[in-house]
């Protein structure tokens, strides 16, 4: 049954693509405008769905989901013509008289699989790229956030052309059936474990992929940092969406001497942001489901948190929690935390912090807080991560021309801004020549021609 569902979604899209429906830029623009209306005319319903699934505060829902997509659409509409233009490149003398150019052509029918933590942004932002580059798309939102998934499935056919964009809802069986089909591109956002499953399925058809995965993103704090701002920015980046952000600071590495004052400043920031009782704060989200709540409480173990630690499964609540005295061997350091728990570890020097990071999988993001530019440069030069910020957390995501993606274990490929358009385009190399002159020099018989060919080719 699932296999039929997958094929049913695919067939009309394939037919529309083959007919060239998505080729004109005017059509792509019209679909992007329709996606904009889908968001703006249903803003309240998205807020409700995000609150139901994740207890997402309205400001966070607006900034990190809806406004993000709206800005992406505006930026894309502004630049689409320029991105889609044939790109002229130099033609070497040997091929003169000729003209060489790179054409951006759509890939075909693409599959976008989304996670639950930003359930709206992370299906629609890839869709902006897919539409702008002229593809047809099947969207598979996460089943873990059913209110958002249902809303997306209800609205997409009302606003977007059903021959061009379709939604298939469901969990593992439905996604597995979709992965059996032959796609021209698969754009996956989710865990490293499922990323491997997607990659294997794609290999069967030699389908190219983007894998937007996760990992443990470190936050290095040196002794010269501006303590108050550092604490506020780490606490904000960590507890935004209750820590369920792929680029959330997973753990802090700070100098032994800085630990005490940093913990104090972070405690103050938690109280400033969420009050004395974060459970009562409208600005602090909830854990997506009971299973993840249980996993997070398990990771806390017997730790004695410096901040927070209390939890209530009936409300899927886990307080903003900060741990100190954590060692690299503790369970909390063995997996991506993906929740509101921040372990703080100490190191003796910046070099020790660099070694710690390099002994692990390459992270999706890395943050360094320092007033010393040479320390920032040293960390950037000697570590590898998908992206990085100096004296900031999360915000590199919102710069449209910074490609967003992982490296090594944190993913493959990148998108945002023009990079989304490029991700969903094939760069086709074209050499155009006249039929004259047609020098006999290159054709057999070659006898006596090597010297002249050397002169032409160098
Ligand atoms: P997930 O891998 O469990 O699920 C992602 C998608 O895969 C869902 O749509 C789900 O239905 C599907 N899926 C799950 N199991 C599957 C299987 N066995 N076969 C086929 N499909 C399957 O991820 P998640 O829990 O939704 O999201 C959390 C993870 O995503 C974290 O690791 C986080 O860091 C990462 N993430 C990365 C980014 C990024 O942009 N790099 C953004 C958000 C989240």
Residue 364 near ligand 1, beta carbon < 6 Å: yes
What is the 195 CA–ligand 1 centroid distance (Å)? 7
Q: Which atom of ligand 1 is nearest to the CA of 118?
A: 43
Nearest alpha carbon, ligand 1 atom 22: 172
Nearest alpha carbon, ligand 1 atom 19: 172
Q: Read off the pLDDT of residues 163-215 as tens digits, 9 standing for 90 and up.
A: 999 999 999 999 999 999 999 999 999 999 999 999 999 999 999 999 999 99
Query: Does the structure show a pLDDT above 80 at 5?
Result: no
What is the 136 CA–ligand 1 centroid distance (Å)? 22
What is the 189 CA–ligand 1 centroid distance (Å)? 6
Query: Does the structure show a pLDDT above 80 at 92?
Result: yes
Nearest alpha carbon, ligand 1 atom 35: 190
Burial 160-171 (b: 16+ CB within 10 A, else e): bbebbbbbbbbe
Query: Does the structure show a pLDDT above 50 at 98?
Result: yes
Residue 143 near ligand 1, beta carbon < 6 Å: yes
Q: Read off the pLDDT of residues 404-456 as tens digits, 9 standing for 90 and up.
A: 999 999 999 999 999 999 999 999 999 999 898 888 998 999 999 999 888 88
The ranges of the chain annotated as CATH 3.40.309.10 are 218-400
pTM for this prediction: 0.95
- CATH homologous superfamily of 218-400: Aldehyde Dehydrogenase; Chain A, domain 2 (3.40.309.10)
Query: Does the structure show a pLDDT above 90 at 158?
Result: yes
Instruction: Give the mean model confidence (pLDDT) for residues 61-87.
Output: 97
Write down the pLDDT at residue 17. 98
Query: Does the structure show a pLDDT above 50 at 21?
Result: yes
Q: Which atom of ligand 1 is nearest to the CA of 142?
A: 9
Nearest alpha carbon, ligand 1 atom 40: 212
Q: How confident is the model at residue 7 (pLDDT cuts 50, 70, 90)?
A: confident
Q: Which atom of ligand 1 is nearest to the CA of 113?
A: 9
Query: Does the structure show a pLDDT above 60 at 2?
Result: no
Residue 200 near ligand 1, beta carbon < 6 Å: no
Q: Which atom of ligand 1 is nearest to the CA of 405?
A: 41
Residue 245 near ligand 1, beta carbon < 6 Å: no
Residue 376 near ligand 1, beta carbon < 6 Å: no
The ranges of the chain annotated as CATH 3.40.605.10 are 2-213+408-430
Q: What is the largest distance, in Å, between two alpha-carbon atoms of the chain?
A: 89
Mutation probe of ligand 1 site: the residue of 65, 191, 339 with most atoms within 8 A of C-beta: 191
Residue 415 near ligand 1, beta carbon < 6 Å: no
Chain mean pLDDT for the chain: 96
Residue 212 near ligand 1, beta carbon < 6 Å: yes
CB 51 within 8 A of CB 102: no
Instruction: Give the mean model confidence (pLDDT) for residues 239-260.
Output: 96
Q: Is 212 tagged catalytic?
A: yes
Residue 361 near ligand 1, beta carbon < 6 Å: no
Residue 38 near ligand 1, beta carbon < 6 Å: no
Q: How far apart are CA 375 and CA 207, in angstroms?
A: 41
Residue 140 near ligand 1, beta carbon < 6 Å: yes
Query: Does the structure show a pLDDT above 80 at 336?
Result: yes
**Which one of 148, 219, 246, 389 is the catalytic residue?**
246
Nearest alpha carbon, ligand 1 atom 26: 115
- CATH homologous superfamily of 2-213+408-430: Aldehyde Dehydrogenase; Chain A, domain 1 (3.40.605.10)
Q: How confident is the model at residue 3 (pLDDT cuts 50, 70, 90)?
A: low
Q: How far apart are CA 395 and CA 135, in angstroms?
A: 29
Q: Which atom of ligand 1 is nearest to the CA of 247?
A: 34
């Amino acid at each position: 049954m699932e296999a039929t569902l997958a094929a049913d979604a695919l067939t009309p899209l394939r037919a529309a693509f083959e007919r060239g429906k998505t080729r004109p830029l005017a059509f792509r623009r019209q679909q992007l405008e329709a996606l904009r209306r889908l968001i703006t005319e249903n803003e309240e319903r998205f807020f409700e769905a995000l609150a139901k699934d994740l207890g997402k505060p309205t400001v966070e829902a607006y900034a990190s989901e809806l406004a993000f997509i709206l800005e992406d659409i505006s930026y894309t509409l502004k630049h689409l013509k320029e991105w889609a233009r044939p790109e002229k490149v130099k033609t070497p003398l040997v091929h003169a008289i000729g003209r060489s150019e790179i054409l951006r052509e759509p890939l075909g029918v693409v599959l976008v699989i989304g996670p639950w933590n930003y359930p709206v942004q992370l299906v629609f932002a890839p869709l902006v790229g897919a539409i702008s580059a002229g593809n047809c798309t099947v969207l598979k939102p996460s089943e873990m956030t059913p209110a958002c998934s249902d809303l997306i499935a209800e609205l997409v056919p009302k606003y977007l052309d059903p021959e061009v964009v379709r939604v298939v809802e469901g969990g593992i069986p439905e996604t597995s059936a979709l992965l059996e089909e032959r796609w021209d591109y698969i754009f996956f956002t989710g865990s490293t474990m499922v990323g491997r499953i997607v990659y294997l399925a794609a290999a069967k058809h030699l389908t190219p992929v983007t894998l937007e995965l996760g990992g443990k993103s470190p936050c290095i704090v040196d002794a010269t940092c501006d303590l108050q701002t550092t604490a506020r920015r780490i606490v904000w980046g960590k507890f935004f969406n209750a820590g369920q952000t792929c680029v959330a600071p997973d753990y802090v590495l700070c100098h032994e001497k800085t630990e005490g004052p940093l913990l104090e400043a972070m405690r103050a920031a938690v109280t400033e942001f969420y009050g004395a009782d974060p459970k009562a704060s409208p600005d602090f989200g909830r854990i997506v489901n009971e299973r993840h709540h249980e996993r997070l409480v398990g990771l806390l173990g017997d730790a004695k948190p410096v901040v927070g630690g209390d939890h209530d499964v009936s409300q899927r609540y886990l307080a903003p929690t900060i741990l100190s005295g954590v060692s690299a061997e503790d369970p909390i350091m063995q997996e991506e935390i993906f929740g509101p728990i921040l372990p703080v570890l100490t190191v003796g020097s910046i070099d020790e912090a660099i070694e710690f990071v390099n002994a692990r999988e390459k992270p999706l993001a890395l943050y360094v807080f320092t007033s010393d530019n040479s320390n920032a440069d040293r960390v950037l030069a000697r570590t590898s991560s998908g992206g990085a910020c100096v004296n900031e957390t999360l915000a590199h995501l919102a710069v449209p021309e910074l490609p967003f993606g992982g490296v090594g274990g944190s993913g493959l490929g990148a998108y945002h801004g023009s990079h989304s358009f490029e991700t969903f385009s094939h760069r086709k190399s074209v050499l155009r020549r006249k039929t004259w002159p047609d020098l006999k020099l290159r054709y057999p018989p070659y006898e006596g021609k090597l010297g002249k060919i050397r002169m032409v080719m160098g």
